[in-house]
Structure 1
Amino acid sequence: MSGQNESPYYFVPHPSRHPISAATGLLVMLGSLAAWINDHTWAPLGVLIGLLWLLFTLWHWFGDAIAESEGGMYGKNVDRSYRWSMSWFIFSEVMFFGAFFGALFYAREIALHQLGSLDYKLIWPDFTAVWPNNGPAELVGTYKSMQPWPVPTINTALLLSSGATLTVSHHALRDNHRKKAIAWLAATIVLGMSFLFLQGFEYFHAYNELNLTLASGIYGSTFFLLTGFHGFHVFLGGTMLSVVLVRLIRGHFTPEHHFAFEGAAWYWHFVDVVWLGLYVVVYWL
């Protein structure tokens, strides 16, 4: 927001086509996805068309917002609105991951012990309430659980390091050292992409050597849902930071006005914190 003014008034944009356009793309994408689940042959193409249309819309929508910001149309009230919006968005993400952590807690601490109690011994006399578990009926194949070393521990070091490099970049921008800010932000993105590469390697190892898949009972489903959605959020955060990096290179932002940087940084630190919880609960406990 290098051109941000000090107007006390709230900027009201002109009527925009972007909301209805984005809603149309989502409708096509999700409707096609539902058809895909029901084995309609045209559905994959529909999902692709809806996704591309949505991305096309978001590209222009965010482009308009950036142009408005750099044009000096955003004052303190708009900045405050963006901060609250990002805060509530991150809160919704906390609730999103809280649901998956809650599912894991319920499976491990409640359902597992109930199935291993005396009430169920007549039905499954050989069942033992230990984690990981493939269920009392043993309907899934044998698999090995994921261990914390070496890939998850290396990934933890990568994400923690990325949080540090991002903080250095932010302080450099606040001190008006643009080149330093660019270099450290680029390092942050490289660390994040390295995390995703190693996670892909971990999944390949799980499927091909441990026989651990999404179908591996409650352990497999919770493992891949938690780590997979976290990986998706790392990708989203890396995309945000990449856009911020391009804007930094183009000369956007000032030491006083750079909420796009700050908002992306908040999100990235949130992703770091979620991973620490995952690392302890999923890989160690």
Structure 2
Amino acid sequence: MANTHTHDADAYFVPHHSRWPFLGSIALFIMMIGVANWFNGTTWGETVFFVGLLSVLLVLGSWFGDVISESLQGRYNAQVDTSFRMGMMWFIFSEVMFFAAFFGALFYARTFVLPWLSGEGDGALTNTYLWQGYVAGWPTNGPAEIGGTFETIPAWGLPLINTLILLTSGVTITMAHHALKANARTALLWWLGATVALGALFLGFQAEEYIHAYHELNLTLGSGIYGSTFFMLTGFHGMHVMLGTIMLAVMWLRCAKGHFSKDHHFAFEAVAWYWHFVDVVWLLLFLFVYVL
């Protein structure tokens, strides 16, 4: 909890010790134990995962509630604002590295592993003695044909529509930011509400795409290297879109309550930065996963 002492303009606000990091660590541990056992077929894994997920959401809601309360009390000065900005920039950088790992796995499999399995370079003996006659192509589920025959999702259907949706949402969040800086509250709520709606629409189309892939194309997380990289990349991106949409909805509620001014609205800016990052990642996904 934050301390109750008053702070002058030059003081750096330091809150008292918080219980939320400790409780958040426990909630994340429960959630990961649940998802690991769920994926391995344990009967109780799914229940434990959702208990952990709910706990994480409750901790985050309470934690951010404290931060919002401290902000509304005027405890954050320019120095704290700078710290927040630096923290958000490092957070986005960590997210860049997160997705870079998965894109790197995709690149490594396509550029090095498949040619080796086909007998090129150092893979000649592997091809001769293990997978004789195997000629790699992409997409593939490997020489063992893990998961069976599958079809891919055409880039120019739902993926293209979702690309247009996210590009449009990048425009609407920018218009909302301009409206906030112009103190145009009605326009702010309309543009921000449109961004939330576009994020929800994207998620709906992605869910439809996944259902189609699993039930009609036999494209699953178990469809070899292609299925695993496809669902890991698009799935984690979808999770980020979901989190971004929730944050945008929170920003809409805060804007409706008049929490931000045209000069002080870093929480809004942070969510906008995050949303633009999500847009850029999707463009790379659309190109390297769906098109190429």
Q: How would you bin the TM-score normalised by the shorter chain? A: over 0.9
2:65 maps to 63
Matched, 1:142 2:149: yes
Q: Deviations over 1:88-146 (max 9, x none)?
A: 00000000000000000001010011111251442323311211112123343111122
Residue 58 of structure 1: CA displacement? 1.6
1:180 maps to 187
RMSD: 1.7
TM-score, length of structure 1 as denominator length: 0.93
CA distance in 2, matches of 1:48, 1:17: 22
Q: Aligned to 1:163, which of 142, 167, 170?
A: 170
CA distance in 2, matches of 1:243, 1:110: 44
Q: Secondary structure at the match of 1:122?
A: helix
Check whether the contact 1:79–1:259 (CA below 8 A) recurs between aligned residues. Answer: yes
Check whether the contact 2:146–2:223 (CA below 8 A) recurs between aligned residues. Answer: no
Q: Secondary structure at the match of 2:208?
A: helix
Tell me which of the two structures has the higher relative contact order, counting C-alpha pairs closer than 8 angstroms and 6 or more residues apart: 1
Superposition map of 1:2-81 within 5 A? 7-36=9-38, 41-81=43-83
Q: Aligned to 2:243, which of 236, 244, 250?
A: 236
2:217 maps to 210
Identify which range, 51-60 or 165-174, moves more after superposition: 51-60
Distance 1:155 1:279, change over 3 A: same
2:97 maps to 95
Residue 8 of structure 1: CA displacement? 2.0
1:122 maps to 128
TM-score, length of structure 2 as denominator length: 0.91
State the percentage of identical aligned residues: 54
Letter in 2 for 1:122: T
2:198 maps to 191
Letter in 1 for 2:128: L
Structure 1 gap segments, 5+ residues each: none
Structure 2 gap segments, 5+ residues each: 1-6
Distance 1:43 1:210, change over 3 A: closer
CA distance in 1, matches of 2:76, 2:226: 48
CA distance in 1, matches of 2:163, 2:47: 37
Q: Secondary structure at the match of 1:227?
A: helix
Letter in 2 for 1:69: S
